[in-house]
Chain A
Amino acid sequence: MRRRAADLWVRIGGGVIVALAVLAVAAPSAATHDPNAIDLLEALQPPSALHWLGTDSLGRDLYSRLVFGARISLLVGVGAIGVAMLIGTALGLAAGWYGGWVDSALMRFVDVMLCFPTFFLLLAIVALIGQSVANIILIIGVTGWMGVARLVRAEVLSLKEREFIQAARVLGFGAGRIMWRHLLPNALSPVLVSATLGIGSAILVESGLSFLGLGVQPPTPSWGNLLIDAKGTLGVAWWLTLYPGLAILCTVLAFNLLGEGLRERLGRS
């Protein structure tokens, strides 16, 4: 029962994500209009055959902007989690393998990082180093690696006592080789599950930052800054509020379904 539900989640989530990735890659041909073409005569038009999801206050086609926005959201989500995995895995491996003061120092650092509200840290660093797409990816990664580090450390601690790791040590393999060839591959699956869930929350964080005006800069369309326009046209143009939010919700939901489904399967096998 539970197993079947998990399979369904994986299929739905995975399907949505693949469809979205195709749409994002093919954005120039999938879009019906130039996402930045201003046409004031067509401003604030409700959805129609010409503009599938309506137009914004500058007459730009909302559907085309959403399609191009998908590129930013997926790029930031995947990129940020890549950075977080890199930092978290490296520190988690080091803490778990070396133990002792290295472990205590790194884990206290994790505790300290977790004391700050993530959004406070994000805003402070964005304001310091500026808000290009690369910076946003870096910042979300740098403030989001703590969970991965704890997870990897826990995996390493339990793997360390297993025979095949003991054997590798007895054979005199170096720490680097053991970590890279033996520990990492075995610790990877739970990390990948948490990464899948992390992509969803990174997309949420990016949209929140953009909505506050501290994310990706307009006129580059991102799902978060499309909603800035929505705030100004509240009660006038419902489509500007509804569709970008739905896009974020469905995408994050897809990543969460995929991640939870994978976790469920992993727990059984």
Chain B
Amino acid sequence: MLTYLIRRVLGLIPLGIGITLLCFVVIHLTPGDPAVVGTDLNPKISLQARQRIKEFYGLNDPLPVQYGRWVARVARLDFGRSLADNRPVSEKIAERIPVTLTINVLSMLLILLLGLPIGIVAAAKPHGVFDHATTLLVFLGFSMPTFWLALLLMQWLGVQWQWLPISGLQGLGTDSWPWWERGWDLARHLALPVFVSAFGGLAGVARYMRSQMVDVLQQDYIRTARAKGLPEPRVLFDHALRNALLPIITILGLSVPGLLGGSVIFETIFAIPGLGRLYYDAVMARDLMTVMGLLTISAGLTLLGNLLADLAYAYADPRIRVGGQGG
């Protein structure tokens, strides 16, 4: 297991270099020097002063040197200061991560809780009524503009019937409430964003689970289990499910960038102060430092997600970690 872990982590190094290189290239494609933005229109700043600023930030050094210095700082999670409010970018990101992470973890749980059973039941009777209904759900899930779904839910559940709050994470004047009422208030605020962000992924997982189960159910060991007279539920859950579940782990790891990207849209709609909203605001304000920091962090989170998925897979399936160079 340890050798497997080491091999996996070493494999991340070239990806890390690629990610930081791409981020760095994007900064330098941007018109205007990052450190001179905000001073170039100021007549009080002389050419010499601007030169000193450039020198101070090391902008006169060759690009590879600048890249090396930037990566060294990124490795210590130092992304410089925001061009919008001069606060350290890492601090701004750190205070937003819990919100986005909570919503994404909750929506992942919802996806698994609903998607896996739907896929299993659909696969148990291929081409039955439930299977066809699942196909319809999958098509809807892949074709639904989630921001429209959010607008519809806001329109009916929020505005028309007033069942759920439609923006932010906290009601007005709830600070003095006891913790259980504040918890209930938070849950009500989270309901719509979590449901909306889970919707598309739900279809994907249900479909994947279904095809995985259908495949496994055609294996010889399933026929053996049925032939020796095991009841169908035991065949499904003890013999088929365990093997069909394995690839789902990889899918979960791969879904990280999609969830982060999707958070831009629903955090903007529901006015939730998370990473997606921070990114949107930074892009709109041309706050390059924050944009670069978030791009790097989001790619880093994806790597982390893939690594965790690989490790979980290796833990669950001994063939992977013993299998040598495969994968």
Contact = CB atoms under 8 A, between A and B. Distances in A.
Task: Tell me, yes or no, whether A binds B.
Answer: yes
A108 B269 CA distance: 35
Contacts of B29: 128
Interface string A225-242: 001001100110010011
A121 B26 CA distance: 10
Interface string A117-129: 1111101111110
A253 B143 contact: yes
Interface string A245-267: 10011001100110010000000
B145 A108 contact: no
A115 B142 contact: no
B21 to A, nearest CB: 8
Contacts of B148: 227, 241, 244-245, 248-249
B140, B145, B302, most chain A CB atoms within 10 A: B145
Interface in B253-290: 257-258, 260-262, 264-265, 268-269, 279-280, 283-284, 286
B265 A119 contact: yes
Interface string B276-313: 00011001101000010011001100110000000000
A116 B302 contact: yes
Contact of A120 (B147, B269, B294, B303): B294
B96 to A, nearest CB: 14
A208 B265 contact: yes
Interface in B151-206: 151-152, 154-155, 158-160
Nearest to B268: A212
Nearest to B303: A115
**Secondary structure dominating the interface of B:** helix
Contacts of A124: 26, 283, 291, 295
A200 B143 CA distance: 7
Nearest to A253: B143
B261 A119 contact: yes
Interface residues of B, number: 45
Contacts of B291: 124
A37 to B, nearest CB: 25
A127 B160 contact: no
Contacts of B140: 249, 253
Contacts of B159: 234-235
A248 B140 CA distance: 12
Contacts of A230: 151
Interface in A168-223: 200, 204, 207-208, 211-212, 214
Contact of B279 (A114, A123, A204, A253): A123
B77 interface: no
Contacts of A249: 140, 143-145, 148
A234 B159 CA distance: 7
Given A111-B15, A115-B302, A123-B280, A241 B294 contact: no
A185 B79 CA distance: 47
Nearest to B302: A115
A245 B269 CA distance: 15
Contacts of B65: none
B252 interface: no
Given A227-B151, A241-B155, A245-B148, A117 B261 contact: yes
Contacts of B280: 123, 212
B143 A208 contact: no
Contacts of A256: 139, 142-143
B139 A119 contact: no
B299 A115 contact: yes
Contact of B265 (A113, A212, A238, A244): A212
A1 interface: yes
B22 interface: yes
A66 to B, nearest CB: 14
A264 to B, nearest CB: 11
A114 B257 contact: yes
Interface string B106-145: 0000000000000000000001000000000001101111
B30 interface: yes
Given A127-B284, A234-B151, 12 more contacts: A112-B22, A116-B299, A124-B283, A207-B147, A211-B265, A231-B269, A235-B159, A241-B152, A241-B155, A252-B143, A257-B139, A260-B139
13 contacts: A113-B22, A114-B257, A115-B299, A115-B302, A116-B19, A116-B295, A116-B299, A211-B147, A211-B265, A231-B151, A241-B155, A249-B145, A252-B143
